[in-house]
Structure 1
Amino acid sequence: MKVIPTILKEIETVLNHVDQEQLQEFAIRLHKAKRIFVVGEGRSGLMAKSFAMRLMHLGATVYVVGETITPSIGEGDVLVAVSGSGTTKNVIWTAEKTKTIGNEVLAVTTNTESSLAAVAEKFLHVPAATKYRHENELKTIQPLGSLFDQCVHILFDSICLLYSELNHVDHQQAFKQHSNLE
């Protein structure tokens, strides 16, 4: 079996089922936010962190929940919560807490019926396989939630591209924000 073409086909299948309007709406909501907070666990958390990094390059004030320098969330801020299953306890708790404070929650999940989707004002549905392999999920040759994580990374980069257009940030401006301590 040729692994790379199979993985690329799986990614393409998922991405072809994503509502492009949801990407635009996410970018607009993030553009309007005073500050952006992201949360996720495991590899989903790594995707959230990479999203935060790129948003920072594009001029956003963005924080990762749980980091030592993350301030309290406040008026006008938005939380982006990532969980393939939509059932990750810490992610749901953070989203619920965000709502009780009066802030908007944007969720990224495979499960439109999940607790995470229910607490969110808007969610990005990523119809990929998760580690649970529910009957209604797409089939994949990859282990655990790899397909979800790969698709989320591409979708987050797509949202960043739309965000950069709204924020009028080009490559040169973003590059100025890139770390110079490496």
Structure 2
Amino acid sequence: MCGCEIPHVKDSMRLMIEEVASLIDKMSDEKTEEFLSELVKDRTIYVAGAGRSGLIGRAFAMRLMHLGLDSYVVGETVTPAMEKGDLVILFSGSGETNSVVDIAETAKSLGGFICLITSREKSRISDIADCKIVLPSKPPNDTEWPNTFEVRQLTGGYKSLSLPLAPLGTLFETSAMIFSDAVVASLMEMKHCGIEDVIGRLSNIQ
């Protein structure tokens, strides 16, 4: 043991719950309904993100598959070629991560319809996106760490876009996970999809 005072985990959990609850009230109902309407259209869905945001995206793609939607993670070996009109969902707190910006630009050039889940109203990906879900959080000052995700990872300066839980805060990732699970619940109602339907699509060879 280091001899230092151990912070109370439950207090941190309560703080995160309060922050997410406050964030929910600031979200746009109109944009959320638009996002849902795009998800139920008959087309292939591609999901991408970097780092922990990318992990949230992968979980979302899996849940969409469980609902019977044709969903894939960008970069996987079994992901098929995108066609014009397909849906591309990008998870990026900053909206500035170079690798995700590249995906957005490529998808746009191929005629994809881009939905961005982010914490910033304005960003490079936001300028490209056709649909945008903003999970608002106050980011650290830009002078505190390099702008790109890749540089932050390499220099050990990674921070989520959240205060006061920085430097290892998780407000965007946590709210993005809760949002994506809530979307799945809404889709189950819209598609009249029961738990039996989901169970039938769970992996059975692992």
Does TM, normalized by the shorter one, top 0.5?
A: yes
Q: Which amino acid aligns with 2:125?
A: L
Q: Which moved further from structure 2: 11-20 or 85-94?
A: 11-20
1:118 is paired with a residue whose SS is helix
The whole-number CA distance in structure 2 between the counterparts of 1:77 and 1:116 is 17
Q: Deviations over 1:28-57 (max 9, x none)?
A: 101114110001000000000000000000
Deviation of the 1:164 alpha carbon: 2.0
Q: Which amino acid aligns with 2:167?
A: P
After superposition, the Cα gap between the structure-2 partners of 1:39 and 1:15, relative to the gap in structure 1 and judged at 3 Å, is same
The whole-number CA distance in structure 2 between the counterparts of 1:138 and 1:16 is 16
2:40 is paired with a residue whose SS is helix
- Aligned-pair identity in percent equals 32
Instruction: Show the counterpart of 2:196.
Output: 172
Instruction: Show the counterpart of 1:57.
Output: 66
Aligned length: 179
Q: Describe how 1:11-160 pairs up with structure 2 within 5 A.
A: 11-130=20-139, 133-134=140-141, 139-144=163-168, 146-160=170-184
What is the TM-score with the length of structure 1 in the denominator? 0.91
After superposition, the Cα gap between the structure-2 partners of 1:20 and 1:144, relative to the gap in structure 1 and judged at 3 Å, is farther
1:81 is paired with a residue whose SS is strand
Runs (5+) with no aligned partner, structure 1: none
Supply the RMSD in Å over aligned alpha carbons. 1.8
Q: Which amino acid aligns with 1:173?
A: D
The whole-number CA distance in structure 1 between the counterparts of 2:197 and 2:191 is 11
The answer to whether the 8 Å contact 2:95/2:118 transfers is: yes
Q: Which amino acid aligns with 1:177?
A: R
Q: Deviations over 1:70-127 (max 9, x none)?
A: 1110133100011100000111111111111111000011111101111000100010
Q: Which amino acid aligns with 2:141?
A: H
Q: Which amino acid aligns with 1:152?
A: A
The answer to whether the 8 Å contact 1:129/1:147 transfers is: no
State which structure, 1 or 2, has the greater radius of gyration over its C-alpha atoms: 2
What is the TM-score with the length of structure 2 in the denominator? 0.81
Higher relative contact order (CA 8 A, sep 6+): 1
Runs (5+) with no aligned partner, structure 2: 1-7, 143-160
